[in-house]
Structure 1
Amino acid sequence: MKIGIDASRANNLQKTGVEWYAFNTIQELKKIIPSTERVVLYTNKPLVGNLSDLPENWEEKVLHWFPKRFWTQIRLSLEIIFNRPDVLFIPAHVFPFIHPKKTVMTVHDIAAHKFPESYNSFERWYSLWSAKKALKKLWQIFVPSEFVKKELIEVFGDENIKKIIVIPHGINENFETEKDLGQIDYVLGEYNIKKPYLLSTGRIETKKNTARIVEAFEILKKDKKMHDLSLVLVGGNGFGHEQVEEKIEKSENKTDIKKLGWVESKDLPFILSGAEVFVFPSLYEGFGIPVLEAFASGVPAVISKESSLEEISGGFALECDAKNVQNISDTIKIFLSDNEIREKNIKSGLEQVKLFSWQKSAKEVWHLLSS
């Protein structure tokens, strides 16, 4: 059997959620797929790093496309016409116009439905159109959570409900290994981060609720016991980042708020391990890998009641009303002031994260691709 996999997103150097999903799934599939099967990784540029280290039965196929845009829809379609695989796996949101009957795509979320302003008009339309057409035309659809499955049914109907398969994501192993305190301090020094600090990761944007995180931090700083507390924000700019920048600039505590931008994957586990509390009151998440990363790092997490986060956390994070700044602040303060609750949640979180792994996820993917 010939299996084709779109590796273009996995090949991005600065990876975020979807790219990490594609990369880690492919890396685990390398260990699982039997040597009797042929696997082709389609990419728009030569594979780099560990992704390029392929088993003997795997091959890389670079599909050059000078227009750059619509590589998946058009260039990959052309490849399918002349060299059709038996099964095609698309780990991201977009599938080629021409595809084999057994084509599977992962729909990570349909955020464009609830947060249309976060996307330009084409992105908004195409994201939802792609998910809708995938449900109608493709063999199977993978989703990372029951939350996303429920949203697909609510928005597009339950006609193709049997096609939707929930396969939870995993977590990078470098978050799960115990960190040397000296190495944590070294990495914090490289980024000029001083303890104690709150940490939030993800794009600086409306959807991630970054502005309210800053406002909640402002409330905390009014307590004299929190005078040395700082806030560290990790992630690139997204829709609404200007509002966040303005709040930080006007803040009386702006010298205690540190924006790091995108951070190297090798450094993030150390930055996370050094945090007092992981703050993630996101307004929308299809899965919520950062919460599992916090659990694995032994850091208590504050999350929103919205979207998939309750499902993924298993009840072992403190939940807040994401639209109530005072409630966000009060919930963070529980972890900062009550050591018994803090330690209980850390212990439970370390157990919860054991339920998720990229190996387990990839095994489920392969089981379905090969069925």
Structure 2
Amino acid sequence: MKIFYDNQVFSQKYGGVSKYFAELIKAIGRFDVEIVFSKTLSENAYLPDKFKTSVGFFSNIKFKGKRSLLNFVNNQFSKGILRKGGYDIFHPTYYSPYFLSKNIRKPIVITVFDMIHELFPAYFSSFDKTVEYKNKVLRRADKIIAISESTKKDLCRLTNIRPEKISVIYLAGSLSEIFSKKITVPNRYLLFVGQRKGYKNFTFFIQSISPLLKEKKISILCAGGGNFSVDERKIISDLGIQDYVFQREVNSGELKYCYQKATAFVFPSLYEGFGIPVLEAFSCGCPVILSNSSSFPEVAGDAGIYFEPQNKESIFEAISTILNENFDKEYFINKGYAISNSFTWDKTARQTLEIYKKLT
């Protein structure tokens, strides 16, 4: 069986969606499957170099329109594969409808990661076409994969797509095989990973616990997500916690070290389709404190310590709990290991392969 994955998502350097496809491609390639992959200009951190035409396309150089340029060029490569055929299943890596005019006669599988654009439109530009494009490709898809029951429920409710067209296949963590790389970190800290804007709820979170940081002498380390913006720096300064909140960019090995040394990993997001960092933290023996919304209880189960993400008192109490000297850290670490071990990319690949087989 030949599976064609296009390259549209690999114009991003980091991100959960490209991590999912990179891990899926690696895992499913270990079965009796041939991966069809077009030429790709990319500096993605997860995609194996053998799939890249240019390793480090304008690496470390940022300019307006860079991602649009990558998308345009990579789409031309993918269109070439679509014209030639030579594959059995087409699994686009995101929602661009560039292929809809190609009269594709082979089955198409689409993975839906979340319904964030539909649920939180105020956080996105009025020019953002994600919702429009997603609806177009979902109508054409022969099968849809949702990455959690929460995502499937939202997808059915917001699009009226039949539930039987959608299969839930969970993701997994990606740090178990990565070597930890030591870096300088604060003495005691809560770890926040990735983007901080909008529904990620970072500002509300630090406002909720700023007195606790100073009282307990504990820091917040933000791994990734870019430098603090002018607005973020002002908020941090106004709260008087500039000596307690830090940001640094990290690679996978450094991120693993950050999890391993953290007092806890915090995930205050208002909504996530799955939340790979939850499993990353669990696999590193790091307790997890997170929102009780969307897919989080489904993924973290009874290993998570939950709070209401829009309730300052709830957040304060949850963080206070793990900082209490009577907190049973080992209990939650062991629970986390058990949950992390139950999610594997091998399982993701096997279940995805079953869907492919049913369509051919």
TM-score by length of 2: 0.85
Secondary structure of 1:259 counterpart: strand
Answer whether contact 1:219 1:326 (CA < 8 A) is retained: no
- Aligned CA RMSD, in angstroms, stands at 2.9
Q: CA deviation at 1:222?
A: 4.7
Alignment map for 1:356-371 (pairs within 5 Å): 356-371=343-358
Answer whether contact 1:175 1:293 (CA < 8 A) is retained: no
Counterpart of 1:57 in structure 2 is none
Answer whether contact 2:274 2:296 (CA < 8 A) is retained: yes
Secondary structure of 1:322 counterpart: coil
Secondary structure of 1:279 counterpart: strand
Q: CA deviation at 1:84?
A: 5.3
Q: Give the 3 Å change call, closer, same or farther, for CA 109–161 of structure 1 in structure 2.
A: same
Q: CA deviation at 1:20?
A: 0.6
Instruction: In structure 2, list runs of 5 or more residues that go unmatched.
Output: 55-66
Counterpart of 2:127 in structure 1 is 122
Counterpart of 2:277 in structure 1 is 290
Question: Percent identity of the aligned residues?
Answer: 25
Answer whether contact 1:175 1:269 (CA < 8 A) is retained: no
Instruction: In structure 1, list runs of 5 or more residues that go unmatched.
Output: 55-59
Q: CA deviation at 1:61?
A: 8.4
> What is the alpha-carbon distance in structure 1 between the residues aligned to residue 122 and residue 279 of structure 2?
28
> What is the alpha-carbon distance in structure 1 between the residues aligned to residue 252 and residue 288 of structure 2?
20
> What is the alpha-carbon distance in structure 2 between the residues aligned to residue 45 and residue 342 of structure 1?
44
Q: Give the 3 Å change call, closer, same or farther, for CA 235–112 of structure 1 in structure 2.
A: same
Q: CA deviation at 1:306?
A: 1.2
> What is the alpha-carbon distance in structure 2 between the residues aligned to residue 71 and residue 165 of structure 1?
32
Q: CA deviation at 1:111?
A: 0.7
> What is the alpha-carbon distance in structure 2 between the residues aligned to residue 344 and residue 73 of structure 1?
49
Q: Give the 3 Å change call, closer, same or farther, for CA 46–267 of structure 1 in structure 2.
A: closer
Q: CA deviation at 1:72?
A: 6.8
Counterpart of 2:142 in structure 1 is 139
Answer whether contact 2:264 2:286 (CA < 8 A) is retained: yes
Answer whether contact 1:205 1:241 (CA < 8 A) is retained: no
Letter in 2 for 1:40: V
> What is the alpha-carbon distance in structure 2 between the residues aligned to residue 243 and residue 10 of structure 1?
30
Q: Give the 3 Å change call, closer, same or farther, for CA 73–117 of structure 1 in structure 2.
A: farther
Alignment map for 1:1-371 (pairs within 5 Å): 1-10=1-10, 12=12, 14-32=13-31, 34=32, 38-45=34-41, 51-53=48-50, 68-70=70-72, 76-77=78-79, 79-83=81-85, 85-95=87-97, 96-97=99-100, 98=102, 99-123=104-128, 126-158=129-161, 160-174=162-176, 187-189=182-184, 193-223=185-215, 226-227=216-217, 229-237=218-226, 243-260=231-248, 262-371=249-358
Q: CA deviation at 1:10?
A: 4.4
Answer whether contact 2:8 2:94 (CA < 8 A) is retained: no
Letter in 2 for 1:9: V
Letter in 2 for 1:4: F
Residue-pair matches, total? 343
> What is the alpha-carbon distance in structure 2 between the residues aligned to residue 244 and residue 319 of structure 1?
25
TM-score by length of 1: 0.83
Answer whether contact 1:2 1:85 (CA < 8 A) is retained: yes
> What is the alpha-carbon distance in structure 2 between the residues aligned to residue 298 and residue 289 of structure 1?
15
